[in-house]
Structure 1
Amino acid sequence: MWKDNQLWWHGPHWLMTGQWPQYQEIGIDTSEMKSMVMLTKKHSRYDILRRFSEYEKFQRVIAYWLRFKTNSLGAKKSGPLTPDELDQADKNIVKMTQHEAFLFEKQVLEKKHQIPKNSNLTSLNPFLDNEGIIRVGGRLSRADIPEIQKHPTVLPAKHHITTIITKREHQRLHHCGPEQLLYSIRQKYWPLSGRREARKITRNCLRCFRNRPKTPEIIMSDLLSDRVRGVLRPFVITGIDYTGPLQMRESRRRGRIPVSKVWIAVFICFATKAVHLELVTELSTESFLAALRRFIARRGICSKIVSDNGTNFIGAARELTEVYEFLQQEQQTITNQLARQKIEWKFIPPRAPHFGGLWEAAVKITKRHLYTITKGLIWTFEEYYTLLVEIESILNSRPLTPLSSDPNDISVLTPAHFLIGDTLLLPAENNYQGIPDNKLSRWQHLQKLRQHFWKRWHEEYLHELQKHHKWYSKGKNLEIGTLILLKEDNIPPLQWVLG
């Protein structure tokens, strides 16, 4: 037990006897030992400089602290802060910032020595004023400008105080650009790497980001296999889009004639860019299926139809909204009708209208020809239909490949070469490319001629699709946590959804 422990109650025996233990030296050879000197540097840091995110609030806190110090020494002040108190607070903030960032340079200047060449302040020729603030010496001492502009206060780069001062000035100037922001800051301060600091503030400003959004640059992807794969005939894989509406009158008689709306259904072949136009009198399932039956009866059954996704019409005009509602309501019915004919109906991804650039280009050219001829007049159904057929023939006569300057070259390849002589349901064919013409029947000769067009499609047109006509550069991919805006065509940028 501890009560019988003599060491606990009386300590070691040599404390009672007075015979202290002898110190025993341990022999160690220190001839090979080397002495080392280690220097440590204590970096002064003011935590209060990083406690506030707004410079005005920080300035007022320091001003009230200085007033409390003054009142404690005898003088009593009350009421709102005066401009002199705010200016004194600003000077104290600058002193703490410079003491933290330029301690070595400040000590050198206090000793009236030259700033070392490896210092960031060497090019500014700095000096200490009467209040102990580092200012720019510069070369403008004889300029006819205010004294504070001749010798602005030096601020460090990548410092919290520099950031909140720049942010305050950016907000005061109603979110100006980086150049104007830097000019305004240099009226009083000289931040190191000031242009970089100004650009960082404007780039990270949420309101400026919403007002001037930038679309990220992406490299153009490879073409779909449906566009670069030769088939037996055109329109096997077809894209479809609606355009309109147009104002149509019932007849050409005089007087008050009822006027109705009509739309144009644009069918385009993925492989040959051949175009087929149909006039549709209403946005209904029956009208769409009737236009599709007319298209199939004249161009043959297709295996796949690709169209816009309904969400691509969001935010557009009221007429496009009607098309979107029609596709959204009748999607299941139309899909079932097409499935019975072994036709697959696919939609492009939402919010990606560039996936439908093939038919959007056809719609643009069709509307250009249409509006150029009609000149805003209201036509009858027969007049519109006749004009659309003529526009269709014009679009199908466009060259697929660049024209050659050699007079000996054969005619340029156009979509019309693939449309003439085709049947509705094409049977299996033999390859007649290597057989002389005198050994072929007339029907086989026509088949050989059309196969020759497909060969030219592979040799001339297909290689033209290799070029990138836009989206050349590859930008930085979006990552999780990146601030983005969902772009809408017909909505101001300030109203775009933030994600």
Structure 2
Amino acid sequence: MSRTEWLSSTDAQNPADIGTRCLTSVEELAESDWLRGPLLLRSPYSKEEVLTFPLVSPEEDDNVRPEVKVKKTEINTPFVARFENFSTWKSLVRAVYNLKKICRLKRGAADSAAFDVEVMQEAEHFILQEVQAFFYKEEIRSLKDGKPVPPSNCIVTLNPFMDKRGTVRVCGRLNQSNLPVDEKKPIIIPGKSHVARILVSHFHSKVYHQGINKCVTCRKLRGKLEHQRMSDLPADRLTPGPPFSAVGVDVFGPWTVAARKTRGGLSHNKRWAVLFTCLTSRVIHIEVIEEMSSSSFINALRRFVSLRGPVKEMRSDRETNFLGALDAIQADAVYKLPIRDYLRNNRITWTFNPPHASHRGGSWERMIGISRKILDAMLLNPNAKQLSHEVLCTFMCEVYAIVNSRPICLLSCDPDSPYVIRPSMLFTQKDFTDIPPQTCGDI
């Protein structure tokens, strides 16, 4: 029997099979490989020849596991770190209170209202002691040994001492008073601890958010208003040109005027005003209209163009009378005149501001506010109580004359430059400054 044949025969023999398969007799079991050992150990070949196996590279053998090194690290988490899992002082005290109450009830303590108060106070005192033990280790060690706190310590100015329960307190000058101990000798709480933050937040909420700048509710109630950065000015505000080439328009009012006399008194109607603002020279023009309709506005626009000259671009908000006026102009609804062709031939464009964006019309909204103030002062006159259409038109002319005489640049303190640039000077090339006549006695 060759060695190759012998090895092939031993591959089919497995000594473990005898333990799971039946044998016919006891003698067969005694002569089996189960008790005598495998045939490999009883072969006629030398042990060196039989037990020699080819070496297998560990990288190629799947049964060889690489060496794994495991490092065990022990982390000792302080007990105070568990307090950070609670966001409020009430929840932290309630958790410690429940643990202490369960422990004392298991020891046979009787549950009562006084018992609950005692356990609650004990829980609060336990939390503060644990915080002090973590942050003031050296200070507590010095106080227990009867030594003073080192001068370089942060709490040395508080003159700390330790009471009978082992709590570090402030030694103040109120020892002879009848105040409670917590007020005469307050407990020192580390300001950098989580307990200090939730304590401050607890009492801050009890006084309804008074005086903390990091509180979200306080910022909502008393925070400063944020201002959005303004965008660039449109091109028609910056492009030089003749007055009223680029115009902003808006309507304001109304005012009650006496329309006609009747047997019972006067018949009153309402009047509005259309304000045209030059976006470059800042000159304004006001036209009075009888109703808030597209036709009234178109008539006012025609009077304005006839007096002030052609307009290149108009800006306004999205009021219904403006939108209706634009539709009427495009449809030639006013006296069937070729207004659309006129706007097209003169290259007049009408731009509307986006919806709900009144700030885009600030250049003419500001002029409306100034005009209202001047007109309100005019109407204080008792003779102006019964307004007529003619009187209101006269007032409007005086209003925009006053507005156009306002300064549009910084006032100079130089006595050699007494004149101030006004919108009316750019528009009419005249100075309407009333300078009293000078006499020798005035000098």
TM-score by length of 2: 0.67
Unaligned runs of 5+ in 2: 1-10, 17-36, 38-73, 332-338, 432-443
Query: Which residue identity lines up with residue 380 of structure 1 in the other structure?
Result: S
Tell me if 1:368 matches 2:373: yes
Q: CA deviation at 1:73?
A: 1.4
Match of 1:20 in 2: none
2:83 is aligned with 1:74: no
Identify the match of residue 227 of structure 1 among 219, 237, 257: 237
Deviation of the 1:277 alpha carbon: 0.7
Give the AA of the match of 1:298.
L
The correspondence for 2:406, drawn from 382, 398, 401, is 398
Conservation of the 8 A alpha-carbon contact between 2:133 and 2:140 = yes
Question: Are 2:214 and 1:214 aligned?
Answer: no
- Other-structure match for 2:297: 288
What SS does structure 2 have at the residue aligned with 1:53?
coil
* Residue 389 (str. 1) matches residue 389 (str. 2): no
1:200 pairs with one of 183, 205, 214: 214
Give the residue type in structure 2 aligned to 1:147. Answer: V
Moved more, 411-420 or 83-92: 411-420
Contact 1:126 1:138 in 2 (8 A): no
Provide the residue aligned with 1:358 in structure 2. Answer: 363
Q: CA deviation at 1:351?
A: 6.0
Per-residue deviation, residues 361-399 of structure 1 (Å, max 9, x unmatched) = 311221111111112835122211111012122222223
SS at match of 2:188: strand
Cα 1:394–1:123 shift into 2, 3 Å: same
Contact 1:265 1:278 survives alignment (8 Å): yes
Assess, with a 3 A threshold, how the Cα gap between structure 1 residues 411 and 200 changes in structure 2: closer, same or farther. closer
Structure 1 residues without counterparts, runs of 5 or longer: 7-39, 179-197, 311-323, 421-448, 454-499
**Deviation of the 1:87 alpha carbon:** 1.7
* 1:23-38 equivalence runs, <5 A: none
C-alpha deviations, 1:129-186, integer Å up to 9, x for none?
Answer: 22222222355556775432232222233433223222221222122x22xxxxxxxx
**Over the residues paired in the alignment, what is the CA RMSD in angstroms?**
3.8
Structure 1 residues 325-355: Cα deviation after superposition (integer angstroms, max 9, x where no partner): 656x649737957986233333456666554
Maintained 8 Å contact 1:138/1:150 = yes
Equivalent residue number for residue 311 of structure 2: 302
Residue of structure 2 equivalent to 1:380: 388
**Contact 2:244-2:311 at 8 Å conserved across structures:** yes
Q: Structure 2: how far apart are the matches of 1:134 and 1:339?
A: 90
Shift of 1:240: 1.9
Contact 2:289 2:296 in 1 (8 A): yes
Structure 2 counterpart SS, 1:130: coil
Q: Is the 8 A contact 1:135 1:152 kept in 2?
A: yes
User: Which stretch of structure 1 is more off in the superposition, 86-95 or 113-122?
Assistant: 113-122
Write the letter of the residue equivalent to 2:181.
E
The offset of 1:47, in angstroms, is 4.7
Distance 1:284 1:99 in 2: 81
Q: TM-score, normalised by structure 1?
A: 0.60
Do structure 1's residue 276 and structure 2's residue 310 form an aligned pair?
A: no
Q: 2:123 matched to 1:89? A: yes
Structure-2 change in CA distance of 1:126 and 1:253 (3 Å): farther
**Counterpart check, 1:241 vs 2:250:** yes
Q: Which has the larger radius of gyration?
A: 2
User: 1:26-65 alignment to 2 at 5 Å?
Assistant: 44-65=78-99
1:2-51 Cα shifts (integer Å, max 9, x gaps): 97899xxxxxxxxxxxxxxxxxxxxxxxxxxxxxxxxx995624354133
CA contact (8 A) 1:251 1:257 kept: yes
Supply the distance in 2 between the matched residues of 1:138 and 1:351 (Cα, whole angstroms). 63
| 1:199–1:241 CA distance, 2 compared to 1 (3 A) | same
Distance of aligned partners of 1:45 and 1:352 in 2 relative to their CA distance in 1, 3 Å threshold: farther
Counterpart residue type for residue 268 of structure 1: T
CA contact (8 A) 1:274 1:416 kept: yes
Kept in 2, the 8 Å contact 1:246–1:262? The answer is: yes
SS in 2 for 1:265: strand
User: CA contact under 8 A between 2:261 and 2:267: conserved in structure 1?
Assistant: no
2:266 partner letter: I
1:260: which partner in 2?
269
Deviation sequence 1:268-304 (CA, Å, 0-9, x none): 1111110111123322322222222222221122222
Determine if the alignment matches structure 1 residue 120 to structure 2 residue 154: yes
What SS does structure 1 have at the residue aligned with 2:86?
Answer: coil
Alignment partners' CA distance in 1, 2:245 and 2:282: 12
Kindly provide the amino acid, as one letter, of the partner of residue 418 in structure 1. L
SS in 2 for 1:200: coil
CA distance in 2, matches of 1:51, 1:263: 66
| 1:267–1:275 CA contact under 8 A, matched in 2 | yes
- How far apart, CA to CA, are the structure 2 residues paired with 1:144 and 1:305? 80
| Alpha carbons of structure 1 residues 74 and 227: separation in structure 2 relative to 1, 3 Å | same
Q: Note if contact 1:400-1:414 (Cα within 8 Å) is conserved in structure 2.
A: yes
| Structure 1 residues 143 and 291, CA gap change in structure 2 (3 angstroms) | farther
How far apart in 2 are the matches of 1:398 and 1:384?
A: 22
Separation in 1, partners of 2:147, 2:355: 68
Aligned ranges 1:117-156 → 2 under 5 Å: 117-138=151-172, 141=175, 146-156=180-190
- Residue in 2 aligned with 1:414? 422
Deviation at 1:241, TM superposition (A): 2.4
Tell me if structure 2 keeps the 8 A contact 1:248–1:380.
yes
CA contact (8 A) 1:63 1:81 kept: no
Tell me, yes or no, if the aligned pair for 1:335 and 1:345 is still in contact at 8 Å.
no
Q: Which has the higher contact order (CA 8 A, sep 6+)?
A: 1
Superposed, 1:324-335 pairs within 5 Å as 330=324, 333=327
Contact 1:126 1:135 in 2 (8 A): yes
Counterpart residue type for residue 375 of structure 2 = L
**Distance apart, 1:210 and its partner CA:** 3.6
Task: Give the conservation status (yes or no) of the 8 Å contact 2:297–2:321.
Answer: no
